[in-house]
Amino acid sequence: YDKFINIKDEDKIYFHIYFNNNKEEIKRSYLNKEDNVTKINIIIDYQVISLESLFSICDCIESIYFKQFKRNNIIDMSSMFYFCSSLKEINFSNFNTINVRNMSNMFSCCSLLKEINLSNFNTNKVIDMNNMFSQCDSLEILNLSNFNTNNVTNMSAMFYFSSSLKEINLSNFNTSNVTNMSNMFTCCSSLKEINISNFNTDKVIDMNNMFSQCSSLEKLNLSNFNNNNVTDMSAM
């Protein structure tokens, strides 16, 4: 079926699906395989400032391409692609994140994504990145060297259970305002090395399970870590 989806901010229900064979309108916040969707066009009402859970649990989607996304008033993208378990490709070349503050759970449980090109992301205003890449089981390489994390306070479970992750570039991370790093790398079982020599942990309170079950980890330099304010290092 051809379907048109209009997104409006009404009680966080974004999806209004119209079938072209005069079937009754279906109104819900997810798509599944039974809908037989092959291609959708999305028009976003300009008054919408949050894309929270926009594609959440859309487990039939394999590819997403943002043909035009010039909007600069979006502040929330939390759980935007959460549990898109069939998603293999996302094209962010026209994506605008300049005013986004919340990216928590943004790609969580995208279990078939092998790579994500985030070179176009502007994260200058982001405060929350908790669980951003958690349970991305197929993700092997992640380059976040362009990320500005100056304002981020929460990185808990950011890479949690990304078990295929072999390489991660965090060289540009500024963690001077982060208070929570709990479970940050938990079960990253394919990582042999994590270069966090630039991490500032002066404000961190919680480090519990931070490197738990990183079974392939061979080298870890924590010589610059300041744990003066940390209250929880259990199972670190």
Over the stretch 86-138, which tens digit does the pLDDT of each residue have? Answer: 999 999 988 999 999 999 999 999 999 999 999 999 999 999 999 999 999 99
- Residue 192: φ, ψ to 5°: -95, -25
Structure confidence at residue 16 (pLDDT): 53
Structure confidence at residue 13 (pLDDT): 46
Over range 158-166, report the average pLDDT: 97
User: Residues 167, 140: contact at Cβ < 8 Å?
Assistant: yes
pLDDT interval class at 59 (50, 70, 90): confident
- Residue 202: φ, ψ to 5°: -60, -35
Structure confidence at residue 172 (pLDDT): 92
Q: Within 13 Å of residue 13, how many CA atoms lie on the same side as its CB?
A: 7
User: Does residue 83 register a pLDDT over 80?
Assistant: yes
- pTM for the complete prediction? 0.89
Burial of 128 (0-12, 13-18, 19+ CB in 10 A): buried
Over range 140-160, report the average pLDDT: 97
Mean pLDDT rounded to a whole number for the chain: 88
User: Does residue 176 register a pLDDT over 70?
Assistant: yes
Whole-number Å distance between alpha carbons of 91 and 48: 22
Neighbours of 132 (CB within 10 A): 24
Report which residue type is found at 212. S
Tokens of 34: 């039974």
**For 6-10, 29-33, 209-213, which range has the lowest pLDDT when averaged over its residues?**
6-10
Whole-number Å distance between alpha carbons of 122 and 152: 13
DSSP class of 10: B
Structure confidence at residue 4 (pLDDT): 54
